[in-house]
Chains A and B, each alone.
Chain A
Amino acid sequence: MSVISVKDVSKTYWVREKQITTIKGFFSDFSSLSKKRKIRALKSIDFQVKSGEFFGIIGSNGSGKSTLLKILLGVIPPDSGGKVKIKGKAIRLSLGMGFDPNLSARENIYINASMLGLSFKEIGDKFSDIVDFAELEDYQETKLKFYSRGMKSRLAFAIATNAKADIFLMDEFFGGVGDLNFREKSESIFKNRFVDNRTIIHVGHNLKHVIDNCDRVLLLHKGEQIALGEPREVVKKYKEILKESINE
């Protein structure tokens, strides 16, 4: 059963030569309104992800990975004609993001977990689990601005896991998450993904990590879908493309 289905998704940005971002500019610079340049960030992407899959997305900078993640999350809409279907609650995990720095960990946990669909009673029941998992027992009431990047990442991961987010969109998240101890804990979470129906979309540059963990990998290059399939082969293809672009 597929939890994510992406059908013929394109994304075109219209960029003005001179960007008009003010009312003053709108009236004084009317002529440049018509001069637009088309940037195709994604060109008819097509794939499906099954429940429990560990799905990798690789590609060089500017290949459209982040745009694709944003579309999956519903932050930005795809061009008309494209269809994205997501079953369940998705959360994006990236290094040190997703929290209000001026609120305590407790408040951030409540807000984030509530958005993942938990009632406050449920959050109260799971609160100590979340804090234990993130190894932040002594810092519950500390404001997030005093947290290190590692602490924030651990907290984000702990919330996503305990609040039962169905889809983890991990944006360059690995490598930053904590020490060995924590890494082992997260490994076991990933191993149990089929039991818990947890789907993982992993975007990253660490190719060894991609080969070791992913079930399937999607390769993007300049917004186009180049390859989709077995990690080893896709990574090989990616390396070829990288070599070509260096030779050019």
Chain B
Amino acid sequence: MINLLLRPIVKYLPENNRLERIWKLALVDFKKRYYNTYLGVIWALLNPLFKLFIYYSIFSIILDPQIDNYGFYIFSGIIFWQFFAEGTNKSFSVLKSKKYLLENIQFNRLDLYYSTILSLLLGFLFNISVYLLITLIAGIHFNYNVLWIPLLALNTALVVFGLLLLLSTLYIHFTDLNQLWAMALLAGIWLTPIFYGRGALMDSYPFLLYLNPLAGIVINVRETALYANQPDYFFIFYDLFWAIVVTIIGLYVFKKYSTKMIEKF
């Protein structure tokens, strides 16, 4: 009887070495991305910094947006967008890059997804530390509201996790999905309030704010980390809800179709 009650709980506790394995896969993934190159981890920082430089030059010098601290304004958004874009793009390599394991050994395939998210979070940690450091030096005023940042990051991670499961499973069947997704990301960066405030979308196309989970997250990142305000609680709850729904859909599609799909590898 006790056994029967405990079994479902034990089933979801990590095996003694499962966490180790996920962590190792994440580290190895992270290392492979950056360490093998000459500049190493600096690349992880260089990319968003360069993007910031480009966008900042164009928008502030040519267009003059009349927003205080416009550089940080964009940077905070870009860091989260980068996390999202890089993460979902992994959908198209997560299974293929681990084919050598999938074909030769039995293990829980979800481990690959957990480790991918972990390795993305490591990269994100670098970027957000740089952001916080620079804003601190620049004398931006912080208060306890900055503590919302970890939650917003986890929210983004959950969105990425769900989409990763969904897209990677579909990708086995539809090999042109990566082209479509590249276009979606291109549109997404402009439809997310990174370079402009929420007002622009709220007035004309409010549904775009609800369709895109990153919109609310970026708005709240700015409110809490740049303006030291309270977050917009509606978006906090709405985006968490969005993430949970997409994760449930992703898990369902993955469980139902991923084994069958692997035959096509």
| A and B associate in one complex | yes
Are A115's CB and B173's CB within 8 A? no
Are B36's CB and A120's CB within 8 A? no
The size bracket of the interface on B is 20 to 34
Check A112 for interface membership: any CB of B closer than 8 A. yes
Can you report 8 residue pairs joining A to B where beta carbons are below 8 Å apart?
A: A21-B175, A73-B106, A76-B259, A77-B259, A89-B106, A103-B28, A115-B107, A120-B24
Are B16's CB and A111's CB within 8 A? no
Are B103's CB and A23's CB within 8 A? no
Check B68 for interface membership: any CB of A closer than 8 A. no
Evaluate whether A92 and B20 lie within 8 angstroms (CB atoms) in the complex, with A24-B176, A75-B262, A103-B28 already known. Answer: no
Check A189 for interface membership: any CB of B closer than 8 A. no
* Residues of A participating in the B interface, judged by any CB pair closer than 8 Å: 13, 21-24, 26, 70, 73-77, 89-94, 97-100, 102-103, 107, 110-112, 114-120
For residue B175, which residues in chain A have a CB less than 8 angstroms away from its CB?
21-22
CA separation between A110 and B259, bound complex, in Å? 25
Check B204 for interface membership: any CB of A closer than 8 A. no
CA separation between A22 and B176, bound complex, in Å? 5
* Residue of chain A at shortest CB distance from B180: A23
Most buried by A among B15, B104, B174: B104
Which of A74, A89, A110 contacts B24, CB < 8 Å? A110
Are A21's CB and B100's CB within 8 A? no
Are B105's CB and A107's CB within 8 A? no
Are B17's CB and A120's CB within 8 A? yes
* Residues of B participating in the A interface, judged by any CB pair closer than 8 Å: 15-17, 20-21, 24-25, 28, 32, 36, 97, 100-107, 173-177, 180, 259-260, 262-264
Which of A24, A116, A119 contacts B105, CB < 8 Å? A116
Q: Name 14 extra pairs, CB < 8 A, besides A90-B105, A119-B16, A119-B17.
A: A21-B173, A21-B174, A21-B175, A23-B174, A23-B180, A26-B174, A76-B263, A94-B104, A98-B101, A111-B28, A114-B20, A115-B21, A115-B105, A120-B20
Evaluate whether A92 and B173 lie within 8 angstroms (CB atoms) in the complex, with A111-B28, A114-B17 already known. Answer: no
Are A111's CB and B24's CB within 8 A? yes
B97 CB to nearest chain A CB (Å): 8
CA separation between A26 and B177, bound complex, in Å? 12
Are A23's CB and B104's CB within 8 A? no
For residue B103, which residues in chain A have a CB less than 8 angstroms away from its CB?
70, 73, 75, 92, 97-98
For residue A98, which residues in chain B have a CB less than 8 angstroms away from its CB?
100-101, 103-105
CA separation between A13 and B260, bound complex, in Å? 11
